[in-house]
Amino acid sequence: MAATDSQPPVGQMSTARLETFADGVFAIAATLLILNVSATAALGSGDLGRQLLHIWPSYVGYGVSFLTIGIMWANHHTLMNQIGRTDRRFVMLTIGLMMFIAFVPFPTRLVAEQIRDNDARAAALAYGITMTGASIFFISVWLYASRGRRLLRADADPRTVRGITRTYLPGTPLYLTATLLAIVSPVTSVVMFAAIAIFYLIESSIFGGSRSDDAPDG
């Protein structure tokens, strides 16, 4: 929507249209998460009240995945805010990121349904691999665009650019750690994924007010 996007040179995708597609995938992937809860509830039988309490991991899974997708969406915005133009490689990397974001509902359902069973390990691993894949594409999109200021806006502040890199870089190692944890303890792994989302939320509530506009927000 930035004024600079209004008439992209031939052969470039406007950042506006890239964002429309990306926002669509983020919004749909997040909203589809509710189908998991619905499907899990339909599996049960007996007293509905008890059943609705019994599937609490579905609500937690819904919350954690919705929040994680929401945070990635917010971060994607922060990133796109610095981008002045695109090229085909950038578009392809974004499609790769979207492929992992859209995948999230599947392992979310696996974790919600299996976390109390013997199959918790496979479910947590599937969740972790998806999240790690998403974070790898996320940092790739950013590093590709910011390396040598390749696709940055002419007026992108170097301090902000470095701040974003610093904020996003730990994502992949963090998610990879949580994923590997699943081999030892699926529950701990899943708790760590929830903790990452909640940590970001708390950090946003402390530093994300409108008075901290000078800080890089990631």
> Would you count residue 166 as binding a copy of itself (CB under 8 A)?
no
The residue with tokens 């859209």 is 102
> Would you count residue 45 as binding a copy of itself (CB under 8 A)?
no
Residue 71 CB, shortest distance to a copy of itself, in Å, is 8
Residue 190 CB, shortest distance to a copy of itself, in Å, is 15
Dihedral Cα 141, 147, 148, 152, nearest 10 deg: 30
Candidate residues 23, 143, 177, 185; the one interacting with a copy of itself per rule CB under 8 A: 23
Q: What is the residue type of 44? A: G
Residue ranges in 174-213 that form contacts with a copy of itself under rule CB under 8 A: 201, 204-205, 207-210, 212-213
Residue ranges in 73-92 that form contacts with a copy of itself under rule CB under 8 A: 73-74, 77-78, 81-82, 85, 87-92
Give the number of residues written for the chain: 218
Residue 194 CB, shortest distance to a copy of itself, in Å, is 14
> Would you count residue 67 as binding a copy of itself (CB under 8 A)?
yes
Q: Are 101 and 26 in contact (CB under 8 A)?
A: yes
Residue 173 CB, shortest distance to a copy of itself, in Å, is 23
Nearer to a copy of itself, 13 or 194 (CB): 13
Burial 77-100 (b: 16+ CB within 10 A, else e): ebbbebbbbbeeebbebbebbbeb
Residue 124 CB, shortest distance to a copy of itself, in Å, is 10
How many residues line the site for a copy of itself (CB under 8 A)?
Answer: 94
Candidate residues 103, 167, 176, 194; the one interacting with a copy of itself per rule CB under 8 A: 103
Give the whole-angstrom CA distance, residue 164 versus residue 137: 15
> Would you count residue 116 as binding a copy of itself (CB under 8 A)?
no
3-state class percentages of the chain: helix first, strand second, coil last, to nearest 5? 75, 0, 20
Report DSSP letters for 126-179, one per residue.
Answer: HHHHHHHHHHHHHHHHHHHHHGGGSSB-TT--HHHHHHHHHHHTTHHHHHHHHH
